[in-house]
Amino acid sequence: MPGSLRDVVFVDGVRTPFGKAGQQGIYAQTRADDLVVKCIRELLRRHPGLPPERVDEVAVAATTQIGDQGLTIGRMAALLAGLPKSVPGFAVDRMCAGAMTAVTTTASGIASGAYDVVIAGGVEHMGHHPMGEGVDPNPRIVAERLVDTSALVMGQTAENVHDRFPQLTKDRCDAYAVASQRKLAEAYAAGRIQRDLVPVATRSQEQGWGLATSDEPPRPGTTLDDLAGLKTPFRPHGRVTAGNAAGLNDGATACLLVAGETATELGLTPRMRMVGYAFAGVEPEVMGVGPIPATQKALARAGLTIDDIGLFEVNEAFAVQVLAFLDHFGIADDDPRVNPDGGAIALGHPLASSGVRLMTQLARHFEDHPEVRYGLTTMCIGIGMGGTVIWENPNHADYRKEQLAA
């Protein structure tokens, strides 16, 4: 019916194993676009009842849109994945929230009736394209003091968050980082992470062909003592280290979003329903606090409060920004609702891909926790922003009652 909004549901999400950026990383000789192609093909393989021609759009994010991440990567990935040439595609850039923005943008199209089925995701090959490659910031941004020079270096913005909130000590950040590594190791041992991974064939001139089946960055068994003596590269005697921040990584993600009525038509099972989303700007010098106003805005628009949220997937770009978020909302550092299977400090953060990784993990948590009705995915974004998406659990009794009543 014209003028009415449709439900948007998350059907499935997948990702490649995340690798370490650099010449020794598993994807050093693998193309970025091939990583996202693997994800798209896996989604189609997992859902044989979805006719490929029913895909209305492919939105793929990349922060550095040059080389093997350029040339309108959404369209190129669609063609390379074997989708019909009638399926269009586009590229997205909102730095760390690229894949999140690919999801929210196409979801709005589904809600308004422009699309029925979309594939959205992101890729970042930081080994091929270091952060800031080819960037030429307008000199006025600093000369006219629109931002402090530290706003352009993400690690320095994290140190600035430490300055603003002295209670967010390095000890707290290191303890949070150790917990992230431990939770991920437990999730791997239980087989929870492997369900979302797409094996990727890799090539090395030195070692020949290989197969990536697990994440490369994790350091299981990390202790506080291991982190205590690490260097602070962004400030002498600082608090941000390689141990309590996400690394430089390569990887890709993709998810399948459809209209609620289309899911019923095609026999696709919703794993989450989008409730709403919001993006917000903050001072670029403290970009890590971005998830706070974004979450406040998203909750207000949805008519919910933080107490309604039973599960949180918070991107761990830096431990300090996660702790700033938790402190603001009165949530304990070790609250079991937060990143139950660990986060980017352990897994890695291939910039534009991470938003869908958060969503895929939340969908898994919903399956394990039918008592939880609402969850959210949130992340800080470079140049001073935050993004939050609120999701509803289809396994919750109230959701099921409402669907039957409808």
Active site positions, annotated: 96, 349, 380
What gap in Å lies between CA 294 and CA 278, rounded to an integer? 5
* SS3 labels along 229-274: CCCCCCCCCCCCCCCCECCCEEEEEEEEEEEHHHHHHHCCCCCEEE
Contact 94, 387 (CB under 8 A): yes
Instruction: For the chain, give the mean pLDDT.
Output: 96
Q: Is there a domain that residue 230 lies in?
A: no
Q: Is there a domain that residue 243 lies in?
A: no
Q: Is there a domain that residue 388 lies in?
A: yes
Q: Is there a domain that residue 17 lies in?
A: no
pTM of the model: 0.97
Domain that holds residue 345: 140-192+274-392
Q: Is there a domain that residue 293 lies in?
A: yes
Tokens of 241: 């280290």
Q: What percent of the chain has pLDDT over 90?
A: 94
Residue 341: is its pLDDT beyond 60? yes
What CATH number does residue 172 fall under?
3.40.47.10
Residue 1: is its pLDDT beyond 80? no
Number of domains the chain is built from: 1
Q: Is there a domain that residue 259 lies in?
A: no
Residue 2: is its pLDDT beyond 70? no
Picking from 1-10, 173-182, 393-402, which range would have the lowest pLDDT averaged per residue?
Answer: 1-10
Find the mean pLDDT for residues 26-40: 97
pLDDT digits (tens, 9 = 90+) for 93-104: 999 999 999 999
Q: Is there a domain that residue 64 lies in?
A: no
pLDDT digits (tens, 9 = 90+) for 217-269: 999 999 999 999 999 999 999 999 999 999 999 999 999 999 999 999 999 99
pLDDT digits (tens, 9 = 90+) for 158-172: 999 999 999 999 999
Q: Is there a domain that residue 351 lies in?
A: yes
Q: Which residue type sits at 176? A: Y
